[in-house]
Amino acid sequence: MEQQQDSLNIYQKLIEVRKSVPYLKKESQGHQYQYTGSSQVLASVRAKMDELGLLLICKVLSHNLIEGKTNKGAKEYMTELDLEFTWVNAENPDEKIVCPWYGQGVDSGEKGVGKSLTYAEKYFILKQFNIATDKDDPDSFQEKAQTYRKPDPISSKEVGELKTKVLEFAQLRSKTDTDVYQALGIEDITLLTSKEAKSVIAKVNSWITAAKKENKSA
């Protein structure tokens, strides 16, 4: 009687998937380059995963939203996701491999999460199975995402300068600093970004200059 082959463990199954897809050619066309599309990457491993009984489960751990603007001034948002991808051997569900991962996606509306998940899944598969492509493989939206960065928070120096300027203007107008902050629409100056703080300081400076001129002419 022929000896029956033992079932593959989860690591052996992942190796079999890797063997099945050594290379992908770029087929999707971007603005100035070709890139490997998400559907192409998923299709390359789906059949082998089904054959071997491998599941890939995605879990969102946390998210962050960064507001930005296009060159034309329209609002855009970059969604950042901290993720866990978990490989599960369906023949033995206790066999799991948990992989921390990260994704990001840029959109002008509500599709940022979807884009981020698509980007993350695509690159997770490419890197998990060491799938080679003919060039570096940026997504069309990912190229834009590289221009985004979290805004710098207001510095302690800017906090001090803003408070001084607000108090100076308040005294010139015989008002309280609370009145001035209310006029500026500011509830908590520590929540301002450095860029916003510079803009507010410039505005208050212009108010101070105007108030001093008025006081002299009075």
| Domain residue limits, the chain | 10-145, 156-217
So what's the pLDDT on residue 155? 93
So what's the pLDDT on residue 218? 62
Which tokens in the block code for residue 54? 């491998």
So what's the pLDDT on residue 29? 44
So what's the pLDDT on residue 34? 38
With CA atoms as reference, report the closest residue to 152 among 216, 200, 195: 195
**199 or 130, which is more confident:** 199
Is the pLDDT reported for residue 147 higher than 80?
Answer: no
Which tokens in the block code for residue 165? 């300027």
Which tokens in the block code for residue 10? 């989860």
Which burial class, exposed, middle or buried, applies to 158 when counting CB atoms under 10 A from its CB (0-12, 13-18, 19+)? Answer: buried
Is the pLDDT reported for residue 156 higher than 80?
Answer: yes
With CA atoms as reference, report the closest residue to 148 among 64, 216, 211, 86: 64
Cα–Cα distance, 7 to 92 (Å, whole number): 10
So what's the pLDDT on residue 123? 87
So what's the pLDDT on residue 83? 94
Q: Which residues pair with 106 in a beta bridge?
A: 78
**29 or 192, which is more confident:** 192
pLDDT mean over 183-205: 91
Cα–Cα distance, 125 to 181 (Å, whole number): 51
CA distances in angstroms from 169 to 166, 196, 200, listed in the order given: 5, 19, 13
So what's the pLDDT on residue 138? 45
So what's the pLDDT on residue 214? 80
Confidence label for 150 from pLDDT (cuts 50, 70 and 90): low
pTM of the model: 0.54
So what's the pLDDT on residue 42? 80
Q: Report DSSP state, residue 189.
A: G
Cα–Cα distance, 22 to 8 (Å, whole number): 20
Residue 183: which H helix or E strand, with range?
helix 177-184
Is the pLDDT reported for residue 151 higher than 90?
Answer: no
pLDDT mean over 74-93: 90
So what's the pLDDT on residue 130? 81
Cα–Cα distance, 123 to 48 (Å, whole number): 18
pLDDT mean across residues, the chain:
81
In single-letter form, the type of residue at position 31 comes to H
CATH 3.40.1010 fits 10-145, yes or no: no
